[in-house]
Amino acid sequence: MSTGTVSRRDTSAGVLTATATVTATAAFGLLLGWATYGLHGTTPLLERATNSVSTWIIWTAAAGALIRTRPLAVWGGASMMLATCCGYYTASTLGDTFGAGGLGTAAVWSVAGLAGGPLLGWAGWTVRRGRGHVRAVAAAAVPMVVLGEGLWLGLALGYWGEAAVFLAVGALFTALLTGYLARAGVHRYWLCAALAPVGALAFYLAEKTILDGLLGSV
Protein backbone atom coordinates (compact mmCIF):
# COMPACT_ATOMS: atom_id res chain seq x y z
CA MET A 1 0.00 0.00 0.00
CA SER A 2 1.45 3.37 -0.99
CA THR A 3 2.11 6.16 1.47
CA GLY A 4 -0.20 8.41 -0.50
CA THR A 5 -3.10 5.99 -0.14
CA VAL A 6 -2.56 5.73 3.62
CA SER A 7 -2.37 9.51 3.89
CA ARG A 8 -5.62 9.97 1.98
CA ARG A 9 -7.35 7.38 4.15
CA ASP A 10 -6.08 9.08 7.32
CA THR A 11 -7.30 12.43 6.02
CA SER A 12 -10.72 11.00 5.15
CA ALA A 13 -10.99 9.37 8.57
CA GLY A 14 -10.05 12.66 10.23
CA VAL A 15 -12.69 14.56 8.25
CA LEU A 16 -15.34 11.99 9.11
CA THR A 17 -14.40 12.12 12.79
CA ALA A 18 -14.52 15.90 12.83
CA THR A 19 -17.86 15.96 11.02
CA ALA A 20 -19.36 13.37 13.36
CA THR A 21 -18.11 15.23 16.45
CA VAL A 22 -19.44 18.62 15.39
CA THR A 23 -22.74 17.05 14.29
CA ALA A 24 -23.12 15.22 17.60
CA THR A 25 -22.46 18.34 19.67
CA ALA A 26 -24.86 20.35 17.51
CA ALA A 27 -27.55 17.69 17.89
CA PHE A 28 -27.12 17.65 21.66
CA GLY A 29 -27.24 21.44 21.66
CA LEU A 30 -30.55 21.42 19.80
CA LEU A 31 -32.00 18.98 22.34
CA LEU A 32 -30.63 21.02 25.24
CA GLY A 33 -32.13 24.23 23.91
CA TRP A 34 -35.47 22.55 23.28
CA ALA A 35 -35.46 20.98 26.76
CA THR A 36 -34.61 24.21 28.56
CA TYR A 37 -37.54 25.91 26.89
CA GLY A 38 -39.88 23.00 27.55
CA LEU A 39 -39.03 22.91 31.26
CA HIS A 40 -39.90 26.58 31.80
CA GLY A 41 -42.73 26.98 34.26
CA THR A 42 -42.75 23.39 35.50
CA THR A 43 -41.39 24.00 39.01
CA PRO A 44 -39.61 27.05 40.49
CA LEU A 45 -36.36 25.09 40.76
CA LEU A 46 -36.45 23.85 37.17
CA GLU A 47 -37.55 27.28 35.98
CA ARG A 48 -34.42 28.90 37.37
CA ALA A 49 -32.14 25.99 36.50
CA THR A 50 -33.23 25.99 32.86
CA ASN A 51 -33.56 29.76 32.45
CA SER A 52 -29.86 30.07 33.16
CA VAL A 53 -26.66 30.73 31.25
CA SER A 54 -24.86 28.31 33.58
CA THR A 55 -26.89 25.32 32.39
CA TRP A 56 -25.78 25.72 28.79
CA ILE A 57 -22.19 26.51 29.72
CA ILE A 58 -21.69 23.53 32.04
CA TRP A 59 -22.90 21.12 29.35
CA THR A 60 -20.66 22.78 26.75
CA ALA A 61 -17.62 22.35 28.99
CA ALA A 62 -18.61 18.72 29.61
CA ALA A 63 -18.80 18.14 25.86
CA GLY A 64 -15.34 19.65 25.43
CA ALA A 65 -13.97 17.27 28.05
CA LEU A 66 -15.32 14.28 26.10
CA ILE A 67 -13.78 15.31 22.77
CA ARG A 68 -10.33 13.94 22.01
CA THR A 69 -8.60 16.84 20.25
CA ARG A 70 -8.40 20.51 21.19
CA PRO A 71 -9.45 21.98 17.80
CA LEU A 72 -12.51 19.74 17.72
CA ALA A 73 -13.36 20.72 21.29
CA VAL A 74 -13.27 24.38 20.27
CA TRP A 75 -15.38 23.80 17.15
CA GLY A 76 -17.71 21.52 19.08
CA GLY A 77 -18.23 24.17 21.76
CA ALA A 78 -19.13 26.77 19.14
CA SER A 79 -21.53 24.48 17.29
CA MET A 80 -23.17 23.31 20.50
CA MET A 81 -23.84 26.79 21.85
CA LEU A 82 -25.18 28.03 18.52
CA ALA A 83 -27.36 24.94 18.15
CA THR A 84 -28.64 25.38 21.70
CA CYS A 85 -29.80 28.88 20.84
CA CYS A 86 -31.43 27.53 17.68
CA GLY A 87 -33.19 24.76 19.62
CA TYR A 88 -34.44 27.16 22.27
CA TYR A 89 -35.80 29.77 19.90
CA THR A 90 -37.27 27.20 17.53
CA ALA A 91 -39.20 25.75 20.46
CA SER A 92 -40.19 29.26 21.46
CA THR A 93 -41.49 29.94 17.95
CA LEU A 94 -43.49 26.72 17.87
CA GLY A 95 -44.81 27.53 21.34
CA ASP A 96 -46.00 30.91 20.06
CA THR A 97 -43.91 32.86 22.60
CA PHE A 98 -41.41 34.31 20.13
CA GLY A 99 -42.36 37.99 20.36
CA ALA A 100 -41.61 40.99 18.16
CA GLY A 101 -38.24 41.57 19.82
CA GLY A 102 -37.32 37.90 19.78
CA LEU A 103 -35.13 38.07 16.69
CA GLY A 104 -32.80 40.65 18.16
CA THR A 105 -32.58 38.78 21.46
CA ALA A 106 -31.85 35.53 19.64
CA ALA A 107 -29.10 37.26 17.66
CA VAL A 108 -27.47 38.62 20.83
CA TRP A 109 -27.50 35.22 22.54
CA SER A 110 -26.23 33.51 19.39
CA VAL A 111 -23.27 35.90 19.17
CA ALA A 112 -22.61 35.38 22.90
CA GLY A 113 -22.73 31.62 22.31
CA LEU A 114 -20.31 31.81 19.42
CA ALA A 115 -17.93 33.78 21.65
CA GLY A 116 -18.31 31.66 24.78
CA GLY A 117 -18.81 28.22 23.23
CA PRO A 118 -15.23 27.84 21.93
CA LEU A 119 -13.85 29.06 25.27
CA LEU A 120 -15.88 26.56 27.28
CA GLY A 121 -15.17 23.73 24.85
CA TRP A 122 -11.47 24.50 25.19
CA ALA A 123 -11.79 24.74 28.98
CA GLY A 124 -13.42 21.33 29.26
CA TRP A 125 -10.81 19.74 27.01
CA THR A 126 -7.93 21.42 28.84
CA VAL A 127 -9.10 20.40 32.30
CA ARG A 128 -9.10 16.76 31.24
CA ARG A 129 -6.29 16.54 28.68
CA GLY A 130 -4.16 19.68 28.96
CA ARG A 131 -0.75 20.07 30.57
CA GLY A 132 0.73 22.41 33.13
CA HIS A 133 -0.95 25.05 35.25
CA VAL A 134 -3.13 26.14 32.30
CA ARG A 135 -5.41 23.28 33.38
CA ALA A 136 -6.11 25.14 36.62
CA VAL A 137 -6.81 28.37 34.74
CA ALA A 138 -9.20 26.56 32.39
CA ALA A 139 -10.94 24.85 35.30
CA ALA A 140 -11.74 28.23 36.84
CA ALA A 141 -13.70 29.22 33.71
CA VAL A 142 -16.47 26.73 34.49
CA PRO A 143 -17.48 27.61 38.09
CA MET A 144 -16.84 31.32 37.52
CA VAL A 145 -19.95 31.45 35.33
CA VAL A 146 -22.11 29.82 38.01
CA LEU A 147 -20.71 32.14 40.67
CA GLY A 148 -21.06 35.14 38.38
CA GLU A 149 -24.68 34.33 37.67
CA GLY A 150 -25.25 34.02 41.41
CA LEU A 151 -23.85 37.54 41.86
CA TRP A 152 -26.10 38.83 39.07
CA LEU A 153 -29.20 37.21 40.60
CA GLY A 154 -28.44 38.74 43.98
CA LEU A 155 -26.89 42.13 43.24
CA ALA A 156 -28.73 43.01 40.03
CA LEU A 157 -32.11 41.33 40.52
CA GLY A 158 -32.36 40.98 44.30
CA TYR A 159 -33.21 37.26 44.13
CA TRP A 160 -31.02 36.38 47.09
CA GLY A 161 -32.57 32.99 47.77
CA GLU A 162 -31.81 31.78 44.25
CA ALA A 163 -28.47 33.59 44.31
CA ALA A 164 -27.46 31.62 47.40
CA VAL A 165 -28.13 28.35 45.57
CA PHE A 166 -26.05 29.39 42.56
CA LEU A 167 -23.20 30.61 44.79
CA ALA A 168 -23.26 27.35 46.75
CA VAL A 169 -23.24 25.25 43.56
CA GLY A 170 -20.44 27.38 42.13
CA ALA A 171 -18.40 26.97 45.29
CA LEU A 172 -18.97 23.20 45.16
CA PHE A 173 -17.86 23.06 41.52
CA THR A 174 -14.76 25.05 42.41
CA ALA A 175 -13.89 22.70 45.27
CA LEU A 176 -14.46 19.56 43.19
CA LEU A 177 -12.40 20.80 40.25
CA THR A 178 -9.60 21.99 42.53
CA GLY A 179 -9.56 18.61 44.26
CA TYR A 180 -9.51 16.81 40.91
CA LEU A 181 -6.54 18.86 39.74
CA ALA A 182 -4.71 18.31 43.04
CA ARG A 183 -5.15 14.53 42.77
CA ALA A 184 -3.95 14.67 39.17
CA GLY A 185 -0.74 16.35 40.34
CA VAL A 186 -1.37 19.58 38.40
CA HIS A 187 1.18 22.29 39.13
CA ARG A 188 -0.44 25.28 40.87
CA TYR A 189 -3.80 23.54 41.08
CA TRP A 190 -4.88 26.18 43.62
CA LEU A 191 -5.18 28.71 40.78
CA CYS A 192 -8.63 27.25 40.08
CA ALA A 193 -9.89 28.24 43.53
CA ALA A 194 -8.13 31.61 43.37
CA LEU A 195 -9.30 32.62 39.90
CA ALA A 196 -12.89 31.37 40.00
CA PRO A 197 -14.21 34.19 42.25
CA VAL A 198 -12.17 36.80 40.36
CA GLY A 199 -13.59 35.53 37.08
CA ALA A 200 -17.07 35.49 38.63
CA LEU A 201 -16.83 39.20 39.38
CA ALA A 202 -15.64 39.90 35.83
CA PHE A 203 -18.50 37.78 34.43
CA TYR A 204 -21.04 39.63 36.57
CA LEU A 205 -19.76 43.02 35.43
CA ALA A 206 -19.75 41.92 31.79
CA GLU A 207 -23.29 40.56 32.06
CA LYS A 208 -24.53 43.67 33.82
CA THR A 209 -22.90 46.22 31.53
CA ILE A 210 -22.41 44.63 28.11
CA LEU A 211 -24.98 41.85 27.80
CA ASP A 212 -27.82 43.66 29.56
CA GLY A 213 -27.07 46.73 27.47
CA LEU A 214 -27.27 44.75 24.24
CA LEU A 215 -30.47 42.97 25.28
CA GLY A 216 -32.00 46.28 26.30
CA SER A 217 -31.29 47.79 22.89
CA VAL A 218 -33.11 45.09 20.87
pTM for the full model?
Answer: 0.83
Q: Which amino acid makes up residue 83?
A: A
In degrees, to the nearest 5, what angle opens at C-alpha 146 toward C-alphas 196 and 76?
Answer: 95
The pLDDT value given to residue 6:
47
pLDDT at 216 over 70: no
Q: In the structure, what pLDDT confidence band is assigned to residue 172 with cuts at 50, 70 and 90? A: very high
Question: How many CB atoms lie under 10 A from the CB of residue 204?
Answer: 22
Per-domain residue ranges for the chain?
A: 13-98, 131-218
* 214 has pLDDT over 60: no
pLDDT surpassing 50 at residue 40: yes
pLDDT range class, residue 27, cuts 50, 70, 90: very high
Q: What is the pLDDT averaged over residues 58-67?
A: 92
The C-alpha angle 198, 111, 46, rounded to 5 degrees, equals 70
3-state secondary structure 99-166: CCCHHHHHHHHHHHHHHHHHHHHHHHHHHHHCCCCHHHHHHHHHHHHHHHHHHHHHHHCCCHHHHHHH
Residue 172, Cβ neighbours under 10 Å: how many?
12
Q: Are 123 and 60 in contact (CB under 8 A)?
A: no
Average pLDDT over residues 7-23: 68
pLDDT over threshold 90, residue 175: yes
